[in-house]
Amino acid sequence: MPSDDLRTFLEEDRKGDPSGRVVRLLRERGSLSAAEIARASGLAKSTVSSVLAELRRSEIVVDAVAKTTSRSSRAGRPGTAVTLNPRAGACVGVAIGPTDIRVIAADVSHAIIADQSVEMPLDYSPQTAAKVTRRLIEEACAKSGVSRAALIGAGIAVPGPVHPETGRVQRASMVPTWAGTDIRRVFAPELDLPIFADNESNCSAIAEMLWGAAVGCDNFIFFKVDLGIGGAIVVDRRVITGLAGGAGEFGHMTLDPAGELCICGNRGCLELYGSLRPALRLAAARFGASITIEELIERANAGDVGCRRLIEDAADVAGRGLAMVGTAFNPPLIVVGGRATAAGDLLFEPLLRSFDRHTLIKRSEMPEHLRTRIVAGTFTADDSCLGAVGLVLKHHGRVGEARV
Ligand SMILES: [Zn+2]
């Protein structure tokens, strides 16, 4: 087993070393051909081929298998692609949801090997989450036949901004009691693994960058419309965290300073009007029972004019918020994620119309190559958990450098 060699490559920063650069690239991108490695790394083709020969000899790199999971970027790759040896290691992604915890495990070739989740009571504590996560990881290892020792790290998607160095949760919205939690201190003793953490929208952006709608795009904005509004800013394939971890929190831009009180403590935040939460509240009042996002969309698709109107109104406001982001960044690509995207044109038509009306650079006035592309994300329900796997693969958000 080459896992010790690989671990050295994965844990050391060997950017100046051609072998280290190739391994880092494969860890992040899954499978690549030699030509793709040369292009992405800037190394000469001859250097890449001698590095690959050496890495093959030491079994760190193997041929990519044609068989693929639906979430892998390997689909459609030519047979010449290589990956890291899947036996060399695996990583886990953990999504901390308001009422559930989910764990996805993937090997270093990016193949998903386990997917487990468990329902949780409202307002569960970080300590409980760490214990449950440990059990889910043990079950995932047992089911997939992966040894616990093969795990190279755990990525944690947190529903709130996370300080990029200390791993402290700055503010939490969906799970309010997590504010101030030191993710490393809580999770590292339970999991005994290097811990990577970031807020869930940043994780979603990583999933879209590695396997979804932003593959091949180095700069983009992620904008999530769900029960809240989240977002992420990606520049040169790096997710911008900001000084305290609060970058990309588009849902908390103020639209109306005299508006309703937001869970964040400010008033009139974008997500109070542009997410689907107010739509669900109004729909519940109309139907006399609470309904889910999926049911709202289903009723709208079935022709319920009230439900259609609620989605359109949310999209109109979300588009106005997105237009501010568009004006600030003028990005080449905006990936819209979240469960609202299941509404399709019902969401996207008013969203795009509103974006164009309120942003400085109008898509309708631009030639094709200068037009911001706005597309639906590939993942909706499992984006942040997949992205938490991506935290480890990309080595993003490592909290506290010492291995506990
Ligand atoms: Zn707010």
pLDDT value at residue 1: 45
CA of 174 to the centre of ligand 1 (A): 12
| Cα gap 273→288, rounded to integer Å | 21
Helices (H), 265-333: 270-274, 277-287, 293-301, 305-329
Q: Please write the tens of the pLDDT for every residue from 94-125.
A: 999 889 999 999 998 899 999 999 999 988 99
- Phi first, then psi, for residue 234 (nearest 5°) are -115, 125
CA of 348 to the centre of ligand 1 (A): 24
Task: Report residue 73 CA to chain centroid gap.
Answer: 15
337, 208 contact by CB (below 8 A): yes
Mean pLDDT, residues 184-196: 94
CA of 173 to the centre of ligand 1 (A): 9
CA of 261 to the centre of ligand 1 (A): 8
125, 169 contact by CB (below 8 A): no
Average pLDDT, the chain: 89
| pLDDT surpasses 60 at 77 | no
Q: Which residues surround ligand 1, an ion (CB under 5 A)?
A: 252, 262, 264, 266, 269
CA of 161 to the centre of ligand 1 (A): 13
210, 236 contact by CB (below 8 A): no
Task: Report residue 279 CA to chain centroid gap.
Answer: 25
Highest mean pLDDT among 156-165, 176-185, 187-196, 309-318: 309-318
Nearest-CA neighbor of 197 among 186, 208, 211?
186
Q: Please write the tens of the pLDDT for every residue from 311-364.
A: 999 999 999 999 999 999 999 999 999 999 999 999 999 999 999 999 999 988
pTM over 0.85: yes
| pLDDT surpasses 60 at 179 | yes
